[in-house]
Amino acid sequence: MTAELAITSKRLPAFWNGSLYYLVTFLCAGSLNPFLYVYFSELGLNGEQIGLISSLGPIMTMLLATAIASFADRKRKRILVLQIALFCTCIIVFLLRLPTTFASIALLMFFLAIFSSPVMSLGEGLIARMAQRNKLNYGAMRLWGSFGYALSSLGFGVLWQILGFKVMFVVASLFYLPLIFLARQLEEGPVIPQQERKPFFNLLRDNGLLLLLVATFLAAISNSLTMTFSGILVRSLGGGNFLVGAMIAGGAVAELPMMFYSDRISKRIHRTNAVQLSYGLMAVSYVGYMLAKDPVLLPFLTLIKGLGYGLWITTTIRLVTERTPEEWASTAQSLLTICLFGLAPLVAGPVGGWIHDAVNPGAVFGLGIFTLALASLVIFLAVRTRKLD
């Protein structure tokens, strides 16, 4: 009984530290991300300039995320590197309220892209491993991020409408202060003796992991299309800003139950089947986006998309965690981050934009259906050839 209580007392702080980290991270993201480029457009930046600035994040993620994460893994300084990245990001976000010209904005956004590039990889790596080590429900921790994003994007949208965007940068930067503290509460992980450490290139020799990353990249193209073009679709069908906010909030709320039950679903039908199910749910929502004529239908379709996303992201992170050694925890997650937020947006933006102009906003989501079908095929072949189980 005493041993069980000791284990429980250790697990509970780990669970709540991870949950709070996700909550504050996405409260911060929801206060800034949906409104940042709206603010830039109000300053007079044109579409080409905004497109250039928005590409900096994915490019820096591809160039730097793995290098920084592998350095943190090798030195076993994941928490310290994460705290430094969060602190520098905090300063840049605060300073973004000052510039008014394209050149000055682009310079700050360039540094923001550099300092924020490893944050997702380091945070996910630390928390996913902490969940695995303590036998915790990772999805039950991650769902607090979706809850925070839904709450934040709606609430701050109303607040910025009243107060203006300048205060947004002060509030968003303040969120980073508790994040730096919460990062310190995460578990660095056990010390792996040098002679027992596996080489980094072993990750790249795992064909199952590589196929999973390819499938993730393809599925992430569809998700990037949603992030970029769903609001445009609402407006093209005659909906207003409230409906755009309702889509963001509804999708985030729908993620919660699937994140919570993702482990249970994966055990019942197997993890790879759970990934396939998530692709199917997202594809169904995109069929609806393509066919919808009434904007009121879109938030309901986004609920289906949110169910798929909630199951997909948590199950995929767990699969990557299980296939990679402890000593390369953040590096493995950085490869996933590159697929999700590096390569995928760079493909989805230009190709989706071309389809938008050549056909119509709804047709963009046909690309999402196609890439999800390809992702499903990759997983099927990986399982069939016993590369992924």
Report residue 302 as tokens: 């986004």
Q: Is the pLDDT of residue 3 over 70?
A: no
Is residue 174 within 8 A of residue 180, CB to CB? The reply is no
pTM for the whole structure? 0.88
16 vs 48: CA distance, rounded Å: 43
Q: If pLDDT is split at 50, 70 and 90, which confidence band does 85 have?
A: very high
pLDDT at 260 (0 to 100): 94
- CA 23 to chain centroid, in Å, comes to 13
Give the model confidence (pLDDT) of 28-56 as tens digits.
998 998 888 878 878 888 767 877 888 89
Query: What confidence score (pLDDT) does residue 262 get?
Result: 94
pLDDT of residue 4: 38
Higher-confidence position of 280 and 30: 280
Q: Is the pLDDT of residue 229 over 50?
A: yes
**Crossing angle of helices 364-384/344-358, nearest 10°?**
140
| In the predicted structure, residue 195 carries a pLDDT above the cut 80 | no
Among 34-43, 53-62, 138-147, whose mean pLDDT is lowest?
Answer: 34-43
Mean pLDDT of the chain: 89
Within 10 A of 133 (CB to CB), how many other CB atoms are there? 15
293 SS3 class: coil
Q: How far apart are CA 317 and CA 320, in angstroms?
A: 5
pLDDT in tens, 125-136: 999 999 988 889
Structure tokens at 255: 């993620």
Classified as helix, coil or strand, 346 is helix
Give the pLDDT of residue 365.
94
Tokens matching residue 29: 């993201």
pLDDT value at 241 more than 80? no
> Which pLDDT tens digit goes with each residue over 4-19?
334 344 566 889 999 9
Q: Does residue 170 carry a pLDDT above 90?
A: yes
The DSSP annotation for 74-121 comes to HHT-HHHHHHHHHHHHHHHHHHTTS--SHHHHHHHHHHHHHHHTTHHH
Percentage of the chain surpassing pLDDT 90? Answer: 59
Is 199 in a helix, a strand, or coil?
A: coil
Q: What is the mean pLDDT of residues 91-118?
A: 95
What structural domains does the chain harbor?
A: 11-186 (1.20.1250.20), 201-389 (1.20.1250.20)
Q: What angle do CA 81, 86, 88 make, to 5 degrees?
A: 95
- What's the whole-number mean pLDDT along residues 254-267? 94
- Please give the structure tokens belonging to residue 245: 């906010």
> Cβ distance 340 to 117 under 8 Å?
no
Given this model, what pLDDT does residue 109 score? 95
Side-chain-side CA neighbours of 86 within 13 Å: the count stands at: 27
Of the candidates 284, 293, 297, 306, the one whose C-alpha atom is nearest the C-alpha of residue 236 is 293
Q: Which tens digit of pLDDT belongs to each residue from 311-341?
A: 999 999 999 998 888 888 888 899 999 999 9
Q: What's the pLDDT tens digit per position in 201-226?
A: 778 888 999 999 999 999 999 999 88
Between CA 133 and CA 183 the distance in angstroms is: 17
pLDDT at 1: 36
